[in-house]
Amino acid sequence: MSKETHIQEKISVFWFRRDLRMEDNTGLARAISSGFPVLPLFIFDTQIIDELPADDARISFIYKQLQKVHEQLVAWDSSLHIFKGEPLTVWKELLSRYQIQAVYLNNDYEPYALKRDRELGELLKSHGISLHSFKDQVIFEKGEIVKEDGTPYTVFTPYKRKWLEKFQRPALLSGAGDPGDGFLKVSLAFPRIEALGFTPSNTEVLPYDLSILKDYARLRDFPGPDATSHLSTHLRFGTVSIRQIIARLGPGDEVFLSELIWREFFMQILFHFPQVVTENFKPRYKGIEWLNHAGDFELWCEGKTGYPLVDAGMRQLNATGYMHNRVRMVTAGFLCKHLLTDWRMGEAYFATKLLDYELSSNNGNWQWAAGTGCDAAPYFRIFNPMEQLKKFDPDLSYVKRWIPEYGTPKYPVPIVDHKHARDRALLSYKKAIQDYLPGG
């Protein structure tokens, strides 16, 4: 495409980010109604992807979703404009090529995204261009669910109560509709994945499945039957609207809805308390003397701790990018409390592996498991991995699926004794609290 082709035509731009769909996309619908032809844009942000391997399954998933969006746009005689680079550099190039009147996007709440979007707003403002951002990936955002005094909730149950009180199904689930013919008429070739510097991944992102809802409350804690929706990756990348998902829920789906509210709870925690990315939410645990034994951490990563439920979970994660939620709790708690390894190490490892990795939920759940977070499990609650195995995988179907050598001499003995590890963790946590308290 030459610079001259569209440089005289006034346009709006919609920037796809965590909303990789055409249907019920708030910012996209607003862009279409702007009165100017809309140029759809996606940027492979090198600030993010340079930290990932070329064959990262999440990049391949994003690429496939972008293909779908592009094919839908072709039906409107338009195209998806794809760039790879540092966002501000890309935007400066766009400003030199197009007569942009306004930019539309959906809100993102992570610290890096907030900084990136502030910088974009300043750049556009210097060119006299308006930036319009909208709530899309959540039902309630930022300061919409707060206490009477305007401060954020840090305990889930009252947050959930307020969320449910404020939730008005018809109004909040009406959605943004589907876009009409308001796109810039332009024909751009969709790049091959290799041309972008990526390699197709063999790891598959499973389609989400809400047929499990009928048994969700009863089976959700049992990894063997895997009665999970696989929805989290799709919500993470916005391939489906949260409004459309909740609209499909009915009486009896309260437990599933509660999980979706947890997602929004952790998002607003990250928004209001961005320090949790690197610090304990509860400062009294700052002085925990983590052992951070490299050999133990490596065995945990490989699923060779000698604790079957922990090992099965880590092997599932390494092989597929998925891990059952109950098992996530057990594996995380084991690393932090049995091995006295800093939750930040486990959080970072999960970030490299989870297909549904989302900073707010990953951080929130790791700090929950470590006892350092908001509304966290108390430090003295230390899961016994063997009791968890008896309770949630009694027929060993999950363990045997992921540990073929289980029950043979090839399976390792436990790397730490449960009682010894529990006592050691309790001492370490108690000492941290005592040292933190005045006069400690």
H or E segment and range at residue 105: strand 99-106
Please count the residues of the chain: 440
Helix (H, G, I), strand (E, B) or coil at 29: helix
**Whether pTM exceeds 0.85:** yes
Distance of alpha carbon 322 from alpha carbon 236, whole angstroms: 14
User: Mean pLDDT, 10 residues at a time, over the chain (440 residues)?
Assistant: 55 98 96 95 96 95 98 96 98 96 97 97 98 97 95 96 87 65 93 97 96 94 94 98 94 96 97 96 94 98 98 98 96 97 98 97 96 83 95 98 97 97 95 77
Using an 8 Å Cβ cutoff, are 244 and 284 in contact?
no
Strand partners, 13: 39, 103
Helix (H, G, I), strand (E, B) or coil at 278: coil
Report the pLDDT value the prediction gives residue 439, as an integer from 0 to 100.
54
Residue type, 101: Q
Residue 55 CA: distances (Å) to CA of 98, 194, 201, 236: 33, 10, 5, 19
CATH of 8-136, one of 3.40.630.30, 3.40.50.300, 3.40.50.920, 3.40.50.620: 3.40.50.620
Scanning 147-241, the segments in alpha helix (DSSP H) are 156-166, 169-172, 213-219, 232-237
Using an 8 Å Cβ cutoff, are 376 and 370 in contact?
yes
Helix (H, G, I), strand (E, B) or coil at 275: helix
Domain 277-435: assigned CATH number: 1.10.579.10
Report the 10 Å Cβ neighbour count for 134: 18
To 5 degrees, how large is the angle CA 274–CA 280–CA 284?
Answer: 130
Report the pLDDT value the prediction gives residue 170, as an integer from 0 to 100.
63
CATH of 138-174+212-272, one of 3.40.50.2300, 3.30.1300.10, 1.25.40.80, 3.90.550.10: 1.25.40.80
Which letter does DSSP use for residue 195 in this model? Answer: G
Distance of alpha carbon 166 from alpha carbon 138, whole angstroms: 14
Report the 10 Å Cβ neighbour count for 285: 22
Distance of alpha carbon 156 from alpha carbon 235, whole angstroms: 20
Indicate the domain borders of the chain.
8-136, 138-174+212-272, 277-435
